[in-house]
Structure formats: C-alpha cells, structure tokens
Amino acid sequence: MSTVSAVRTRRTIKSFKPDPIPRELLEELLEAASFAPNHRMTEPWEILVVGPSTRALLNHKTNFGGAPVVLAILSKPAKTEVDRDEYYAAVSCFILNFMLAAWEKGIGTGWSSLGLSKRAQEVLGIQPGYEVVGLIPVGFPAEVPEPKPRTPIQTKIKELP
C-alpha cells in the first residue's frame, strides 16, 4: 500500500473484532511511529498499554468498540508554552504515523479524547505536566465505514504576496 493510499483509505474504526494483536506487531508499529518529526529529537511521547482493570475504570461509552488493545499516548512535561505546543504536535504526528502503519497491516484504530477528562487522567495515573493526547483503540476492524466527503482543498489555500 502506498503512503497516499494509506492516507486516503484510513478510517476511524468504531467496531473491532476480538482477535488479538500480537505484542511483537504492536511494538513494530510503535517503533515505526517513532520516526515522527519532533523538534530537537525530544521524542516527547510515552505509551501506556491500558489493561482490563484500568479500561473498566475508564468506563468508555462504547468500551472502545471492543478493541483488543487500547493505548494512552502521552506528551511529556514541557518547560515552556512553545515546548508544550511542539511536544503536542510531535505526539500527534506519532499517533498518525502509528495509525497509518497499522492500517497498512490491516489493523484499524480510533482516537478518543476521553483522556482529556480529569477523571480519566486520575484512572490512568497521569503525573503532573503530562498530557493525554489520545486514547487509541487498536484492532482488526469489524466494519470499515465509508469515507466522509471532504471540503475541496482549493477552498483552504490562500496565496500570500
């Protein structure tokens, strides 16, 4: 699958098969994701593999679609607002790299913002200064939604003098 094909065909998966994801494959995808751009090679991401007890306490409205794996992807503490923004952007790139690498292997993902809630952060044991950029369900899709229409990119382009 080409990069452009992965970008155009990747979908947010809401329903997963129960089939397990081998740990070696999960680590291979995370390692590929680590090639995300990050200013000054800060590699500001940290990954929590959410176990069954923690997952139950999170009480996600759909239980993450039944995904066999849920990851919490964190951004490390920053000393300045600029560093915080750069870290958050780099972690977002890490997540997208992970999603595209997974899709290329037939594995679907989603992106939940539940980790932004104080309660979820307490359940996850998030230390001060860390941010939960996303809770990512991972698994083989039970169904793949149709693509949603996009705004023509020409309407988003502005030429500067």
What length is written for the chain?
161
| Contacts of 1 by beta carbon, 8 Å cutoff, 6+ apart | 9, 103, 104
72: CATH: 3.40.109.10
Instruction: Indicate whether 123 belongs to any domain.
Output: yes
In a domain, 161, yes or no: no
Longest CA pairwise span in the chain (Å): 57
Q: Tell me what the mean pLDDT of segment 132-138 comes to.
A: 98
Q: Residue 56: inside a domain, yes or no?
A: yes
In a domain, 60, yes or no: yes
Quickly state the pLDDT bin for 139 (edges 50, 70, 90).
very high
Q: Three-state SS across 12-35? A: ECCCECCCCCCHHHHHHHHHHHCC
pTM over 0.85: yes
Position 142 confidence tier, pLDDT thresholds 50, 70, 90? very high
Beta strands in 17-155, from DSSP E residues, in sequence order? 45-49, 69-75, 108-109, 131-139
What's residue 143's pLDDT? Answer: 97
Q: Quick check: 110 and 14 in contact, CB under 8 A?
A: yes
Q: Residue range 97-125: average pLDDT?
A: 98
Each residue's pLDDT tens digit, 28-50: 999 999 999 999 999 999 999 99
Number of domains in the chain: 1
Enclosing domain of residue 99: 3-156
Chain position carrying tokens 């390692």: 31
**Residues β-bridged to residue 132:** 74
In the chain, pLDDT over 90 holds for what percent of residues?
100
